[in-house]
Chain A
Amino acid sequence: NAGVTQTPKFRILKIGQSMTLQCTQDMNHNYMYWYRQDPGMGLKLIYYSVGAGITDKGEVPNGYNVSRSTTEDFPLRLELAAPSQTSVYFCASSYRGRADYGYTFGSGTRLTVV
């Protein structure tokens, strides 16, 4: 089992460019999440999904979009990249949304916007 796979691992974007961060899980988890991690700020929820076709905003959704067409994939789209979006992005998944099953995180995408 690969768990949660994120690509790319690193990316440098210019201001105003767009990109999609890919996330795939093979555990048949129905809940998926996108977090961003900034130094000393912990993990902030961007968007989450409780199943294919269903997404909702988290704490910091501005500047991002998501889609969930399949159970396995949950891509995060950045439109018109800004320096404030420089961060490490983590995708996570869990089963049935029960918090006590714990989240499985991917290894992250380090994004720099210049």
Chain B
Amino acid sequence: QQQVKQSPQSLIVQKGGISIINCAYENTAFDYFPWYQQFPGKGPALLIAIRPDVSEKKEGRFTISFNKSAKQFSLHIMDSQPGDSATYFCAAGQGGSEKLVFGKGTKLTVNP
């Protein structure tokens, strides 16, 4: 049973545009929501993370928006660049838990 649903599966954006990736979760005990970025041939790397006590977190061009009542969170990439082309995974976990549950990933392509 998939606990974190991620969409879209793939996304193509023009350089300078906004990339938006959405995730929904089921377990209300989750209290930590990270996003990972993975380039081809590499392992995933932590990009940005949020806890449900805030509705938004911004780091540079990357923003997480969080809607606790809807059990949804999303990643926004502003001014998308070709170097942002990668696969993005959302995940969810419980504070102190030893395991994260991952979405299926979104392959982002930013055209020059």
Contacts and interface: CB of A to CB of B under 8 A. Distances in A.
Contact of B102 (A4, A31, A43, A99): A43
B95 A98 contact: yes
A90 B34 contact: no
Contacts of A43: 44, 89, 102
A42 B97 contact: no
B43 A99 contact: no
Contacts of B100: 99, 103
A75 interface: no
Contacts of A103: 36, 44, 46, 100
A27 B44 CA distance: 17
Interface stretch (A13-21, A63-71, A104-112): A104-112
A42 B90 CA distance: 10
A50 interface: yes
A40 B104 contact: yes
Classify the secondary structure of B's interface with A.
Answer: loop
User: In this complex, which of A33, A41, A105 has the most chain B Cβ atoms within 10 angstroms of its Cβ?
Assistant: A105
Nearest to B98: A97
A100 B51 contact: yes
A31 B102 CA distance: 17
A52 interface: no
Nearest to A45: B99
Contact of A106 (B43, B98, B104): B43
Contacts of B9: 40
A61 interface: no
Interface in A86-104: 90, 92, 97-100, 102-104
B32 to A, nearest CB: 4
B94 A99 contact: yes
A48 interface: yes
Contacts of A35: 102
21 contacts: A4-B43, A42-B6, A42-B102, A43-B102, A48-B99, A90-B44, A92-B43, A97-B96, A98-B95, A98-B96, A99-B32, A99-B93, A99-B95, A99-B96, A100-B49, A100-B51, A103-B46, A103-B100, A106-B43, A107-B42, A108-B42
